[in-house]
Amino acid sequence: MTKSLVLLSGGQDSTTCLYWAKQKFDSVEAVSFDYGQKHILELQKAEVIAIKSDTPWKVLHCPKMYGSSPLTDSNEKVGNYDSVEDLPEGIEPTFVPARNILFITMAVNYALSRGIKDVVTGVCQVDYGGYPDCRADFIASMNMTLNLGIYGEHYRYEPLGKDQITIHTPLMYLTKKETVLLAKDLNCIEALGDTHTCYEGTNPPCGKCHSCLLRARGFEEAGIEDPLMKGEK
Amino acid sequence: MTKSLVLLSGGQDSTTCLYWAKQKFDSVEAVSFDYGQKHILELQKAEVIAIKSDTPWKVLHCPKMYGSSPLTDSNEKVGNYDSVEDLPEGIEPTFVPARNILFITMAVNYALSRGIKDVVTGVCQVDYGGYPDCRADFIASMNMTLNLGIYGEHYRYEPLGKDQITIHTPLMYLTKKETVLLAKDLNCIEALGDTHTCYEGTNPPCGKCHSCLLRARGFEEAGIEDPLMKGEK
């Protein structure tokens, strides 16, 4: 039986990954991270998504991370923009150094305790907001580091096999439009109505932050109505 | 001014690394990890070592890690052996998957918040007890992963520069004997009297665990008396 663990943030991307994993693996579990986020809504949404998809779900509690971010620090403001074109270049101010390394490490440690070696995350290097830890070359290096650190050198020059940890990133090369179309193929558009994307944590979403703008453009380009916005227009 | 952060477990190796760093860098700080260890003595020793060496010191609190180890689980027994030759092959039962990845990640995250990019750890692949995450190829991969995940691809093919995170492992290729001789060169043999090595956490040390046996052999081969054992014979 094939087993996998999905890193479920409660957002659009990780929820699409959850449904992707449910098609690909016999058994799927999910974890979400309590990292001191201001928006506890994220975890509530993740739980709803897990329950509705009948997925065993666990919250992993992160240690304190240093480096301020508007996602955890109420003194810092999230950027507001009028359109995708106005988004600044460079690394998003929400970036916390090494946080994704921490998330993946904790997820893999938990996965192994459940007999799982396939881990799924929704990172994407197309609309990646300058986060270096969402890129394919980072994920490849992280995957290698995990196998070297947990299984040792004997796997070093071998192709990835079933006895190794594999980080799956089904959205890595997709645009937001393609991710919405993938969700349609996976019959999970309706489930995206339970997701949370907005950096401001408001409900309905603010529509002005990096996350909201990219989500809106993805649905628009895919020609599909965002179930989260039904009745908002 | 050059700055570094030492991962200080309170043991012989990390203490030697602390004194190594004090010779190499203008400024040295240290962190220790509260990972639910049974032997709180470890942290007490680390604090004593930090105070005596006039090193700013901080405890980082780790998240729960899955996978049992006799170092954290009182239901599990540490192996007792009569000599180094009796030590079993393979991975030590004290190994927790991905724990060293977690420690290094948390240390680097903290270091960056202090404006530090040079991190020092006492891992060693000579007497490494089968821990895959103490080996040079793991550390190299971990170092690459951190730079890719924090600074992105533009550093990928460049040699390590001063703007990058560097994990220093001064003991990597030393035997325990050579580590003791290094400590002598660094004038820190006396400081090793404040260290804690025993897996059993007893004081005086049990003398029968993997850690105690290797320590004893190192001092013996170096022809130096272990200050921890003064008056014990």
How far is the CA of B70 from the CAs of A110, A148, B96, in angstroms?
18, 23, 10
Please give the DSSP secondary-structure letter assigned to residue A232: -
Query: Which residues on chain B are in Cβ contact (under 8 Å) with A63?
Result: 60-63, 106
Q: How far apart are CA B228 and CA B233, in angstroms?
A: 11
**pLDDT value, residue B168:** 97
Q: Is the pLDDT of residue A95 over 80?
A: no
Q: Is the pLDDT of residue A50 over 50?
A: yes
Query: Which residues on chain B are in Cβ contact (under 8 Å) with A102?
Result: 102, 105-106, 109
Q: How far apart are CA A142 and CA A85, in angstroms?
A: 32
Q: B33 to chain A, minimum CA–CA distance in Å?
A: 11
With DSSP H G I counted as helix, E B as strand and the rest as coil, what are the percentages for chain A, rounded to 5?
40, 10, 50
Note whether A148 contacts B: Cβ–Cβ < 8 A.
Answer: yes
Token pair recorded at residue B197: 């090595």
Q: Which residues of A155-176 are buried (b: 16+ CB within 10 A; e: fewer)?
A: beeeeeeeebbebbbbbbebbb
Instruction: Name residue B30's beta-bridge partners.
Output: B6, B57
Q: Which of residues 120-139 of B touch A (CB under 8 A)?
A: 132-133, 135, 137-138
Reduced to 3 states (helix: H, G, I; strand: E, B; else coil), residue A140 is helix
How large is the average pLDDT for residues B42-60?
96
- Nearest-by-Cβ selection for A145 from B141, B150, B151: B141
pLDDT tens track for B64-106: 888 766 556 666 666 677 776 666 665 566 678 888 999 999 9
State the residue for tokens 């991975």: B91
Q: What percent of chain A has pLDDT over 70?
A: 82
How large is the average pLDDT for residues B112-128?
90
Query: Which residues on chain B are in Cβ contact (under 8 Å) with A116?
Result: none
Q: A159 to chain B, minimum CA–CA distance in Å?
A: 16
DSSP string across A37-75: -S-THHHHHHHHHHHHTT--EEEEEPPP--S--TTT-TT
pLDDT tens track for A133-183: 899 989 999 999 999 898 875 544 444 455 689 999 999 999 999 999 999
- Nearest-by-Cβ selection for B63 from A60, A144, A152: A60
* Torsion angle defined by CA atoms of residues A116, A122, A125 and A129, in that order, rounded to the nearest 10 degrees: -130
Residues A156, A145: contact at Cβ < 8 Å?
Answer: no
- Nearest-by-Cβ selection for A132 from B110, B112, B150: B150
Do the Cβ atoms of B63 and A64 come within 8 Å? Answer: no
B40 pLDDT band (50/70/90 cuts)? Answer: confident
Query: Which residues on chain B are in Cβ contact (under 8 Å) with A31?
Result: none
Query: Which residues on chain B are in Cβ contact (under 8 Å) with A149?
Result: 98, 100-101, 132-133, 138, 141-142
**pTM for the model:** 0.87
Note whether B119 contacts A: Cβ–Cβ < 8 A.
Answer: no
Residues A44, A206: contact at Cβ < 8 Å?
Answer: no
Name the class of domain A3-226.
alpha beta
- Sign for the CA dihedral angle at B38, B43, B44, B49 comes to positive
Do the Cβ atoms of A110 and B61 come within 8 Å? Answer: no
- For testing the chain A interface, which of B108, B121, B147, B148 should be mutated: the one with the most A CBs within 10 Å? B148
The amino acid present at B8, given as its one-letter code, is L
A38 pLDDT band (50/70/90 cuts)? Answer: confident
- Whether cis (ω within 30° of 0) applies to the bond prior to A132 is no
Q: A187 to chain B, minimum CA–CA distance in Å?
A: 33
Instruction: Name residue B32's beta-bridge partners.
Output: B59
How far is the CA of B115 from the CAs of A32, B79, B112, B204, in angstroms?
30, 41, 5, 39
Do the Cβ atoms of B153 and A135 come within 8 Å? Answer: yes
- Sign for the CA dihedral angle at B109, A106, B34, A138 comes to negative
Please report, for chain B, the start and end positions of each structural domain, with discontinuous segments joined by +: 3-229
How large is the average pLDDT for residues B186-208?
87
Q: How far apart are CA B227 and CA B233, in angstroms?
A: 12
A210 pLDDT band (50/70/90 cuts)? Answer: confident
Reduced to 3 states (helix: H, G, I; strand: E, B; else coil), residue A11 is coil
Do the Cβ atoms of A98 and B113 come within 8 Å? Answer: no
- Sign for the CA dihedral angle at A80, A83, A89, A92 comes to positive
**Closest chain A residue to the Cα of B64, Cα to Cα:** A61
Give me the CATH topology for the region B3-229: Rossmann fold (3.40.50)
